[in-house]
Amino acid sequence: MVEMLRDSTVAELRTMRRTRLLKDGRIVLHRGWSLIDCTIRDTSDTGARVSVNLQCELPQNFDLLYVSEEKLVPCEVRWRRGDRLGVRFSGPFRKAPPYRL
């Protein structure tokens, strides 16, 4: 189960400094059969902060697609608060296959 943490607690747990950005993303489920629109708000070498629809049910693990860069990275949800979630990259970035975006 994903823990609900306060901003100060999350910042204390973070090991890498994040860079703010605003990029279109997709959460990729079921090996590409399901794509959920999201916004990548900031990123670091180890994870990212993502905005997604509030009603969206997500599994603990999924792939995150950086749309403009055509990069895909496996992620694990570390926290969720409202429409925001923090993910930890659980593997290397790779070239994304041709999804219908």
The CATH number of the domain holding residue 16 is: 2.40.10.220
Q: How many domains does the chain have?
A: 1
Q: Which residues of the chain have pLDDT under 70?
A: 1-16, 99-101
Name the residue range of residue 79's domain.
7-90
Looking at the domain assignment, is residue 97 inside a domain? no
Looking at the domain assignment, is residue 13 inside a domain? yes
Looking at the domain assignment, is residue 98 inside a domain? no
Looking at the domain assignment, is residue 35 inside a domain? yes
Nearest to 42 by CA among 63, 21, 23, 27: 21
> Rounded to an integer, what distance in angstroms lies between the CA atom of residue 76 and that of residue 85?
10
Looking at the domain assignment, is residue 100 inside a domain? no
pLDDT on residue 79: 96
Looking at the domain assignment, is residue 26 inside a domain? yes
What's the pLDDT tens digit per position in 48-67?
999 998 788 899 999 999 99
Looking at the domain assignment, is residue 2 inside a domain? no
